[in-house]
Amino acid sequence: MKAKELREKNDQELQELHEQLREELFRMRLKKHTNQLQQTHRLRETRRDIARVKTILHQRRSA
């Protein structure tokens, strides 16, 4: 997910997206440990998406 796309969303949408990404990351971690996760690169992408969302939320709160 691009930062430009995230900046177009409002704070409520970003909070919801953050929760969805955290749940997705949790499920992927479980699948990884049970050797059911085929696309392991998605773990890294999801972690980075979470970081992008948190960064944008923090920037908005401090501005």
Give the chain as a DSSP string. Answer: --HHHHHTS-HHHHHHHHHHHHHHHHHHHHHHHTT--S-THHHHHHHHHHHHHHHHHHHHHH-
Q: Residue 1 has what pLDDT?
A: 81
Domains with residue ranges and CATH for the chain: 3-62 (1.10.287.310)
pLDDT digits (tens, 9 = 90+) for 1-52: 899 999 999 999 999 999 999 999 999 999 999 999 999 999 999 999 999 9
The answer to whether 6 and 48 have CB atoms below 8 angstroms apart is no
pLDDT on residue 13: 97
Q: Above 90 in pLDDT, residue 63? A: no
Amino acid 52: pLDDT: 97
CB burial of residue 5 (10 Å; 0-12, 13-18, 19+): exposed
pTM across the whole model: 0.92
